[in-house]
Amino acid sequence: MTGDAALIDRFLEMMAAEAGAARNTLSAYETDLRLASDASGGRLAQADAAAIGRVSDGWSALAPATVARKAAALRRFFAFLLDEGFRADDPGIALPRPGTTRGLPRTLSTGDVDAMFAAITARVARDPPDRNDLRLSALFELLYGSGLRATELVSLPRGAVASDRPYMILKGKGGRERMVPLSDRARAAVAAWRDHVPADSPWLFPSGKAHLTRVRLYQIVRALAAEAGIPPDRISPHVLRHAFATHLLEGGADLRALQAMLGHADIATTEIYTHVDRARLVRLVNERHPLIDAAPVRP
């Protein structure tokens, strides 16, 4: 059988080409597999269930989420070896399956969002308007109005948003393309900002010789939150993406449509928002149901 290093490389190539795995995912898989190979004396690909058990025993001090990630990487690797004929069995059954509880994503109320947009409106209304306020308006309209990831937003090409087209085609995680809806407000905000972007800039949000960084976007978002009276530690660009998804679902959006808009490869990732919505419904029942104040029925 080919050695671990070559098989890991082939597995990563498959994950990139066929599964469309993102760069960060590939990097994590590579690290986990190479560490497991070292722990098994360079014989991970030939390891039996007992050997795999010894490797996973070394994870005992790690957080459940980390163990789950490492086990998932090894399971996919062994499934690949089985599919490609490098093994006749799959020892992945010996890997642990820690019971990790996925926390609900932090989000914002519609009142929080209204407060931030009110602060933006007050800024843009100043005469003459500051170009940074126009940029702020465009950034927030796209973050909350279209649910973009921070990296997707800051790296948008100058011509990504057309004034006569209510959507844009975006290449997101794993190189997957998706159609992103654009509100009239977002297109108007981008058009007002683009008038201040140099014509030779390849980016919609340029900064120096490149585009706006994710760190700077994070700082901009937190500064506006503070101005709107929202504790800055409650907000980030990704929280605004969560708010986009949560509020759409609360408004009756279809889960499959939401998956497409967010660019999730797996519907299971999108389903976390059903838990957010369910939590809201439970809270509504506990706080607003007409029987709350009624005396309990005694047997």
User: Which residues carry out catalysis?
Assistant: 149, 173, 238, 241, 264, 273
Cβ distance 7 to 81 under 8 Å?
A: yes
Angle of the 49-57 helix axis to the 23-39 helix axis, nearest 10: 110
Cβ distance 261 to 144 under 8 Å?
A: no
Cα 262 from Cα 260, distance rounded (Å): 6
For the chain of 299 residues, list the mean pLDDT of each consecutive stretch of 10: 87 78 85 94 91 89 86 90 87 75 66 94 90 95 86 91 87 73 90 94 94 91 93 85 81 73 66 56 49 49
Cβ distance 226 to 182 under 8 Å?
A: no
Residue 175 identity: G
| Residue matched to tokens 């058009």 | 191
Phi-psi region of 42 (alpha: psi -120 to 50; beta: other; left: phi over 0): left
Cα 27 from Cα 128, distance rounded (Å): 47
**Beta strands, E only, 149-191:** 167-171, 177-181
Overall size of the chain counted in residues = 299
User: Cα dihedral angle (63, 67, 73, 76), rounded to 10 degrees?
Assistant: -140
Q: What is the pLDDT of residue 201?
A: 95
- Number of other residues whose CB lies within 10 A of the CB of residue 93: 11
3-class state of residue 18 by DSSP? coil
CATH class of 4-94: mainly alpha
Residue 170 bridge partners (DSSP): 178
In a 13 Å sphere around the CA of 146, the CA atoms on its Cβ side amount to 30
Phi-psi region of 19 (alpha: psi -120 to 50; beta: other; left: phi over 0): alpha
CATH class of 110-285: mainly alpha
* Alpha carbon 62 to chain centroid, angstroms: 24
Element (H, E) at 153: helix 150-154
Cα 132 from Cα 192, distance rounded (Å): 11
Indicate the domain borders of the chain: 4-94, 110-285
Main-chain dihedrals φ then ψ at residue 169, nearest 5 degrees: -95, 125
